[in-house]
Amino acid sequence: MPELPEVETVRRGLAARLVGRRITHVTVRRPDLRRPLPPDMGQALTGRAVQGFGRRGKYLLVHLDSGSVLIVHLGMSGRLSIDTAPSGGAHEHVVLHFDDGAVLRYDDHRRFGLMDLTEAARLEEHELLRSMGPEPLAADFDGPALAKRLSGKDTPIKAALLDQRVIAGLGNIYVCEALFYAGLSPRRRAGSVQGKRADRLATGDPGRAGSGHRSRRIVAPRLCAGVGRARLLSAPLRGLRPGGSALPRLRLRGRGASHRAERALDILLR
């Protein structure tokens, strides 16, 4: 499932191409995604200009000049493609046509994604967004802020970080990597991650702009044609230490995890 860095990559790419463009018409081929599309979505989008692209956690936000916001979640297999014509493929469910001839296609063979409309003034109250935690890319997100979110929690740290009510946008891949580089076991009690441990985890979190976006850790497989296709996993995500030997594996609440062995950081820094 696309995580915060992938959705942010898509957001930046779409913003560079489509801000200021006007939607001339909308083609809906299948309205039955994870949840039904709004019945008036085509009418609400037609004739509207795109004012900007935002993001909240794993959700892409398309701000329109009408004051409405289109909320998009890519689910497990959703893909946005900027092209000059619809593909007509079996999994092409929604197509937005723009005044410059461009089209934005949404393909999703599993149909786990979703789209919804709301008003910008009520965006934070939307049922999909209202309970979400803080953004790890926010300027005020640091070790103390993370420690406060984790304080008193008895769940494993990995489970806590995957909880979108604690921190928005992180998923299994980046949580595993963040814990690896912070030197923390995914089984550690979340409430015990305080002080320097929280500082280490917050500053080394691959959701941060300095790592997920500018280092080799970004993973954006086929999410948006012409926007972001990098796929280069760093060692802990492949289940390997930097030297090539296998990392221990475990399962927590049904999710797989690689975690560092004793003094694995020493190996990493050699």
Active site residue 156: no
DSSP string, the chain: ---HHHHHHHHHHHHHHHTT-BEEEEEES--BSSSBPPTTHHHHHTTPBEEEEEEETTEEEEEETTSEEEEEE-TTT-EEEEESS----TTEEEEEEETTS-EEEEE-SS---EEEEEEGGGGGGSTTTTT----TTSTT-SHHHHHHHHTT--SBHHHHHH-TTTSSS--HHHHHHHHHHHT--TTSBGGG--HHHHHHHHHH-TTSIIIIITSTT-B-TTSEETTB--B---GGGGTB-TTSPBPPEEEETTEEEE---TTHHHHHT-
CA distance 25 to 97: 5
CA distance 218 to 212: 5
Active site residue 136: no
Of residues 3, 6, 8, 177, which has the active-site annotation?
3
Token digits of residue 160: 């806590």
Active site residues: 2-3
